[in-house]
Amino acid sequence: MNNRFNKPSLKKRITESVNFSVFFFVIVIVVFMFGISFIASTSSRDQKKILTDAVSKDIIHCYAIEGYYPPSLSYIEDHYGLTYDKSKYLIDYVPVGDNIMPSVTIVEIGRK
């Protein structure tokens, strides 16, 4: 029977303290891993949005300056400085005509 005058043995106190420390450490690691995963997915979405905005801006800029939409994606890369990670993104650029905005689809490669 335990009362306030009977203290648990030193071995039991150490075991309980170690168990709490290990449990707390595991919880911290799990929260840290979820945080990194969340940040990585947010960063990936932001990169895709930035690339989409850059392509759209360059297409509109070309139309404003030259009076026609760019004939190809390589034209935008050569004349307007568009750069992106070709191993990470695939850009499907389909020109419709000189005065009709092209269809642009950006797909992240290797993303599930």
Would 33 be classed as within a structural domain? yes
- The sign of the dihedral angle between the CA atoms of 79, 84, 88, 93 is negative
Would 21 be classed as within a structural domain? yes
Angular region, 73: left φ>0, alpha ψ -120 to 50, beta rest: alpha
**Residues 69, 59 contacting (CB under 8 angstroms):** yes
Would 4 be classed as within a structural domain? no
- Residue numbers of the domain that contains 39: 10-108
By three-state DSSP, how is residue 108 classified?
A: strand
Q: Give the pLDDT score at 78.
A: 95
Q: Give the pLDDT score at 89.
A: 93
Q: Give the pLDDT score at 104.
A: 95
The string of DSSP codes covering 61-105 is: HHHHHHSS--SSHHHHHHHH-----TTTEEEEEE--BTTBPPEEE
Q: Give the pLDDT score at 101.
A: 93
Would 59 be classed as within a structural domain? yes
Q: How many CB atoms lie within 10 A of CB 59?
A: 21
Instruction: Report the distance separating Cα 79 and Cα 87, nearest Å.
Output: 22
Domains contained in the chain, number:
1
Would 2 be classed as within a structural domain? no
**Residues 67, 16 contacting (CB under 8 angstroms):** no
Q: Give the pLDDT score at 39.
A: 84
Would 73 be classed as within a structural domain? yes
Would 1 be classed as within a structural domain? no
For helices 73-80 and 10-66, angle between their N-to-C axes, nearest 10 degrees: 90
Q: What is the mean pLDDT of each run of 10 residues along the chain (112 residues)?
A: 65 74 89 88 86 95 94 94 93 91 91 54
Would 5 be classed as within a structural domain? no
